[in-house]
Amino acid sequence: MLIAVDIGNSSINIGYFTANGISVQSINTHPLKDSEEYLTDICNFLQQKRIEKNSHGGIISSVVPGHTSVLTEALRRLSADEGAALLTVTHEMSSGLKFRVNAPEKVGSDRLANAVAAKEIYGKPAAVIDFGTATTITVVGVDDDFIGGAILPGLGLMNRALGEGTSRLQEIILEPPLRALGVDTQTCIRSGLFYGTAGACERILMGIEEETGVTLKVILTGGFATVMGRFLRRIHEINSNLTLEGLRILYEKNRPS
């Protein structure tokens, strides 16, 4: 079994890869728990899904540094095999990608995993739009290169900013609008958030394609991927487990022989 852990700003997604496929557990990122609590959460999930707690490898991607060591310890305690390989994603890993960006060490490990999965599963050139706490666009070029992308606030962050930064607007329930034309404050905000985010992503992709001269395959992932897919006019694929699939591929490329 391989356990892939994606520690994000809002949620920790844990993928359990077995001969039967993948099972995914989601845990809130905050508050931070200790390793014993995470171990209990993992064991309860394995029991619920009837997944045998056998020898396993593990790989962790984290954009929340304070959580990394705690989850690593939980995985170590889970394994009966003290020699099990537990990897942490860095830009120095073998990924099959060449970095064409400034400061590759600052690229989010989730974006690296997304780029690897997009290239290996869907082919190049490709763009991954990850609709999470932030909305990120990650682009893989024609030469197996990580060429950059864009980052903008996610739906939840924009919603919260409107509520906290204005005197008369309130944070709303994040439900997709039925149409673009809002008829009251709430539906106006929903239109702005969902149609606005979709429009921003499409405009960014258009600009990247004009600058690079390529046509990008588009893959959506993240917590809002399925919902946001309704608002994008571009042809796209949706893969909610893309980051975890990328971690699996990175593990295979870097596992000790």
196 is in an annotated binding site: no
Q: How many Cβ atoms sit within 10 Å of the Cβ of residue 162?
A: 16
11 is in an annotated binding site: yes
12 is in an annotated binding site: yes
7 is in an annotated binding site: yes
88 is in an annotated binding site: no
Pair 84, 57: CB distance under 8 Å: yes
What span, in angstroms and rounded, lies between the C-alpha atoms of 100 and 104?
A: 8
Block residue for tokens 């990122």: 29
79 is in an annotated binding site: no
Active-site residue, selected from the candidate residues 81, 110, 143, 144: 110
111 is in an annotated binding site: yes
Pair 154, 137: CB distance under 8 Å: no
Is 41 tagged catalytic?
no
55 is in an annotated binding site: no
130 is in an annotated binding site: yes
Block residue for tokens 């780029």: 115
215 is in an annotated binding site: no
Q: What are phi and psi of 189, to 5 degrees?
A: -65, -45
34 is in an annotated binding site: no
Pair 17, 248: CB distance under 8 Å: yes
What token pair was written down for 248? 């699996």
222 residue type, one letter: G
What span, in angstroms and rounded, lies between the C-alpha atoms of 32 and 135?
A: 23
What token pair was written down for 211? 């600058």
13 is in an annotated binding site: yes
40 residue type, one letter: T
Q: 110: burial class by Cβ within 10 Å (0-12, 13-18, 19+)?
A: buried
Could you give the residue numbers annotated as active site? 110
Binding residues for substrate: 108-111, 185
Residues belonging to the binding site are 6-13, 108-111, 130, 133, 185
What residue numbers does the annotated binding site for ATP cover?
Answer: 6-13, 133
